[in-house]
Amino acid sequence: MNNFIGKHYSKEYDCASFVSEWFKVRLGIELPDFRGGKMAQVRWLRNNFTPVDEATDNCIVYMRTITDKMHVGVYYNGYVYHNNGTGEVGTHGAVVATKLTVIKNNFYNIRFGKWSS
């Protein structure tokens, strides 16, 4: 997982692109990468992952930010790995690992999905 941490957020490498890379590198599963089209990819992810009640390793974590923006990451060993853009002009975000308990305090409408194909 450490090879992901710190990888910079950009229009071409957003949270959904990171999820695609995780599945390809860690699990050998090729997901579409809708570069710069996060909403289209999030819809695709919802249609191809089965909803589950609890987080399990390598499940998708769907969440909404405080400003009601969609965000997505991957759960693994108690952490949500996600490419977190900062939203501040002139700064960049990066892939981070955040404890699920912290995610639950900072995001809302959190749901989980398991690969179904």
Compare 108 and 89 and report the one with higher pLDDT: 108
pLDDT per residue as tens digits for the range 29-47 = 998 766 556 677 777 877 8
* DSSP letter for each residue of 56-88: -TTEEEEEE-TTS-EEEEEEETTEEEEEE----
Name the average pLDDT for the chain: 85
pTM for the structure as a whole? 0.87
pLDDT per residue as tens digits for the range 7-26 = 888 777 888 888 989 999 99
Q: Name the token pair of 57.
A: 């390793």
| Confidence at residue 84, expressed as pLDDT on a 0 to 100 scale | 83
Q: Tell me the average pLDDT across 49-61.
A: 94
Domain boundaries, the chain: 15-115
Q: Are 74 and 25 in contact (CB under 8 A)?
A: no
CATH code assigned to 15-115: 3.90.1720.10
